[in-house]
Amino acid sequence: MDSQLIESFTHHHRALDNTFAEARSAAEDGDFARASQALQAFREALERHMGAEETWLFPAYEAQHGPDNAMTAILRKGHRDLRGFFEEIAEALEQAEGEEAVALIGTVGQILQHHDEKEEQEFYPAVAPLLKDAGPAIKALGA
Query: Degrees (nearest 5) of the Cα angle 93, 95, 98?
Result: 50
Q: How many CA atoms lie within 13 A of 45 on its CB side?
A: 18
Query: Is 28's pLDDT higher than 60?
Result: yes
Q: Report the alpha-carbon distance of residue 140 to residue 135 in Å, rounded.
A: 9
Nearest in space to 90 (alpha carbons), one of 28, 47, 51, 43: 43
Query: Is 2's pLDDT higher than 80?
Result: no
pTM of structure: 0.91
**At 4, is the pLDDT very low, low, confident or very high (cuts 50, 70, 90)?**
very high
Q: How far, CA to CA in Å, does 70 sit from each of 28, 60, 101, 116?
A: 36, 14, 31, 16
| Structure confidence at residue 143 (pLDDT) | 61
Taking residues 108-118, report their average pLDDT. 94
Residue % of the chain over a pLDDT of 70: 98
Query: Is 1's pLDDT higher than 80?
Result: no
Taking residues 71-75, report their average pLDDT. 96
Query: Degrees (nearest 5) of the Cα angle 83, 132, 14?
Result: 40
Enter the DSSP assignment of 31: -
